[in-house]
């Protein structure tokens, strides 16, 4: 859809939301079921698009994009009705005769801007949460992954309601036009620099945002680890998608002897996985485009290459590379790498590693490799980041019960599972009262003229206290609840000097 259509796109989405169709939970479930069917019926086409964009190996495309999406949408289908129910809250003396409740209110029309590195998954996981929450969605896939973007533009209108869920394609100018519109929520995945521009545009309309950004996610390794397992897990996390993953290990912190052991293992593992000629391996992707290739190639200068280092511009190929004797001022340490280059910096202790990490922007993830519970706890307590994974890399992303998101420069907000639903849901606070005479009698002290006695009684009512729990009531006769309610009302009335009025009201 062309840039000039953004006004019409927004108008169409506004009309669709105003019609109320997305508020119907059964409609949401049907749309989610259609989305699942889209994944199942078009798996081969989706994997082919990912190969065209990134030379993504089929196992990675299937496991880290399509199967993740299927699992996510199944969660939404299974839980959408329950999550959408009003949430009852505990009552107090003040509200014991009222109904305090939280409604799960959709924001309205939301914008989801996807990223190119996982161009299907990162465009559509937020969409399922937005659908489950009852929103209309405008989806902007990344133009840097053109095959995936084009396929989504073709598929989504075939499976989802075309008024409520629209795809807009195009480059930066299209995004600029979209951001001029007044959305009710914006969900962006991409770089920190672009995220700042999205936030700035959202601020003009006070539009809430989720920003899934990135940063330099550090890995600390100490001498206590099983080095073979640690090396496998670190290098796997680095080489999946050729390092073009927001939570990929960015650099390693360890002492010199640990560094030497780690390098030896990495060298063995790379040959085991990819052979003597890794460029011919079917299990390694390519850099997404020339601009990113040139950016990564520039990072190889200034540091000593311990493993790899070969490049091929015609093939957008950068060999899996390990750098040593790296200084904080080297080019590779100035920005998120987002490629198959792993710098190793020397530190003497976990304390030094924590100091190094804390001196920099907050990371999306910190990886800790250590058998020491004390060391693990030190990182957990003394650093701030979006998430932590101990003795592995990237696996925290697969646990949808954990919120996924950054903090500070690595992002705002979180999603996955129930957190996706909550991201696109406004928690509307509601207090429903009646014209009950007893309730009015208890609350009339708020009205002028004010007196010390009225203030005393109001303080008594407002004081935070634990009321008796009636959780067993569904399993006993309702008569017991009636008796308990009368006793409680008489107690309150006696405390406030309303005993005679209570008798009159209750006959």
Catalytic positions, please? 212, 246
Q: How many CB atoms lie within 10 A of CB 506?
A: 12
Supply 213's token pair: 């950004």
Checking DSSP bridges between strand 87-88 and strand 99-106, what pairing results, if any? antiparallel
Distance CA 172, CA 415 (A): 25
Sequence-ordered list of residues with C-beta below 8 angstroms from that of 328, at least 6 positions apart, any chain? 345, 356
Closest CA to 137 of 430, 451, 424: 424
Reduced 3-state DSSP string for 91-157: CCCCCCCCEEEEEEEECCEEEEECCCCCCCHHHHHHHHHHHHCCCEEEEECCCCCHHHHHHHHHHHH
Which of 408, 323, 415 has the alpha carbon at shortest distance from 357? 408
Inter-residue contact 265 to 346 (CB < 8 Å): no
Q: Rounded to an integer, what distance in angstroms lies between the CA atom of residue 486 and that of residue 126?
A: 49
For the stretch 290-298, contacts whose Cβ atoms lie closer than 8 Å and that sit 24 or more positions apart, written own/partner, are: 290/316, 292/244, 292/338, 292/339, 293/318, 296/337, 296/338, 296/339, 296/341, 298/331
Tokens of 487: 């006793």
Tokens of 458: 């109001």
131 and 35 Cβ atoms separated by less than 8 Å: yes
What is the rounded distance in angstroms from the CA atom of residue 323 to the CA atom of residue 346? 12
Beta-carbon contacts of residue 142 (< 8 Å; ≥ 6 apart): 114, 115, 116, 119, 123, 148, 149, 190
Rounded-to-integer distance, Cα 21 and Cα 111, Å: 18
CB 237 within 8 A of CB 60: no
Who contacts 85 (Cβ-Cβ below 8 Å, separation ≥6)? Answer: 104
- Rounded to whole angstroms, the Cα distance separating 365 from 482 reads 54
CA separation for the pair 304, 295 (Å, rounded): 18
First to last CA, the chain: 70
Residue with tokens 């209750």: 506
Q: Are 222 and 307 in contact (CB under 8 A)?
A: no
């Amino acid at each position: 859809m062309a840039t000039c259509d953004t006004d019409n796109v927004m108008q169409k989405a506004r009309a669709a939301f105003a019609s109320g169709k997305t508020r119907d939970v059964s409609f949401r479930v049907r749309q989610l079921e259609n989305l699942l069917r889209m994944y199942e019926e078009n798996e081969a086409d989706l994997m082919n698009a990912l190969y065209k964009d990134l030379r993504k190996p089929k196992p990675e495309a299937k496991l880290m994009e399509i199967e993740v999406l299927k699992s996510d949408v199944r969660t939404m289908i299974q839980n959408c009705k329950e999550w959408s129910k009003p949430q009852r809250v505990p009552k107090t003396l003040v509200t014991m005769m009222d109904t305090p409740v939280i409604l799960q209110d959709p924001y309205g029309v939301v914008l989801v801007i996807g990223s190119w590195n996982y161009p299907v998954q990162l465009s559509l996981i937020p969409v399922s949460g937005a659908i489950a929450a009852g929103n209309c969605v405008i989806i902007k896939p990344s133009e840097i992954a053109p095959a995936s973007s084009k396929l989504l533009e073709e598929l989504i209108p075939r499976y989802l309601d075309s008024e409520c869920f629209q795809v807009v394609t195009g480059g930066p100018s299209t995004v600029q036009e979209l951001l001029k519109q007044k959305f009710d929520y914006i969900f962006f995945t991409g770089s920190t620099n672009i995220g700042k521009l999205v936030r700035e545009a959202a601020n003009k309309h006070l539009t809430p945002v989720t920003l899934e950004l990135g940063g330099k996610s550090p890995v600390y390794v100490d001498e206590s680890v099983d080095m073979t397992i640690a090396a496998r897990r670190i290098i796997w996390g680095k080489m999946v998608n050729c390092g073009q993953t927001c939570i990929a290990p960015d650099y390693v912190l360890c002492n010199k002897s640990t560094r030497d052991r780690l390098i030896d293992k990495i060298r063995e593992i790379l040959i085991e996985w990819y052979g003597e000629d890794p460029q011919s391996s079917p299990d390694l992707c390519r850099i997404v485009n020339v601009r990113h290739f040139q950016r990564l190639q520039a990072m190889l200068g200034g540091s000593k290459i311990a493993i790899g280092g070969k490049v091929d511009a015609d093939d957008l190929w950068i060999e899996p590379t390990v750098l040593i004797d790296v200084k904080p001022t080297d080019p590779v340490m100035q920005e998120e790498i987002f490629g198959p280059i792993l710098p190793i910096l020397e530190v003497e202790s976990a304390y030094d590693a924590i100091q190094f990490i804390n001196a920099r922007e907050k990371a999306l993830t910190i990886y800790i490799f250590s058998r020491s519970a004390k060391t693990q706890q030190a990182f957990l307590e003394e650093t701030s980041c979006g998430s932590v994974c101990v003795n592995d890399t990237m696996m925290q992303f697969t646990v949808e019960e954990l919120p996924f998101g950054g903090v500070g420069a690595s992002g705002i907000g979180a999603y996955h599972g129930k957190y996706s639903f909550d991201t696109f849901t406004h928690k509307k606070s509601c207090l429903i009262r009646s014209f009950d005479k007893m309730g009015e009698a208890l609350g009339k002290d708020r009205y002028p003229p004010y007196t010390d006695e009225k203030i005393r009684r109001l303080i008594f009512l407002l004081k935070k206290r634990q009321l008796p729990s009636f959780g067993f009531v569904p399993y006993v006769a309702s008569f017991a609840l009636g008796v308990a309610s009368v006793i409680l009302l008489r107690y309150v009335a006696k405390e406030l000097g309303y005993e005679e009025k209570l008798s009159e009201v209750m006959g």
